[in-house]
Amino acid sequence: MDAIKKKMQAMKIEKDNALDRADAAEEKVRQMTDKLERIEEELRDTQKKMMQTENDLDKAQEDLAVANTNLE
């Protein structure tokens, strides 16, 4: 009977440890998901800024071409 109780106690401890590891893994997944969302948002913002900069460059090049034409 003692052997069964010891085995049950060992299994309970093993289960508790497994649950703790699962909880820790779930928390890590939540943290990584949050980090991924922040990075994706930062990427979208950077892409918008890059597009605006490219548009500004195009406009500046057009203005330069017009100015050069007017100088001729």
pTM equals: 0.67
Task: Tell me what percent of the residues of the chain surpass a pLDDT of 70.
Answer: 100
* Residue 8 vs residues 16, 17, 18, 28: alpha-carbon distances, Å: 12, 14, 15, 30
Q: How far apart are CA 24 and CA 17, in angstroms?
A: 11
In three-state secondary structure terms, 1 is coil
Residue 72 banded pLDDT, cuts 50, 70, 90: confident
Q: Reply yes or no on whether the pLDDT at 57 is more than 90.
A: yes
CA angle 11, 12, 17 (to 5 degrees): 95
- Per residue in 22-42, pLDDT (tens digit) is 999 999 999 999 999 999 999
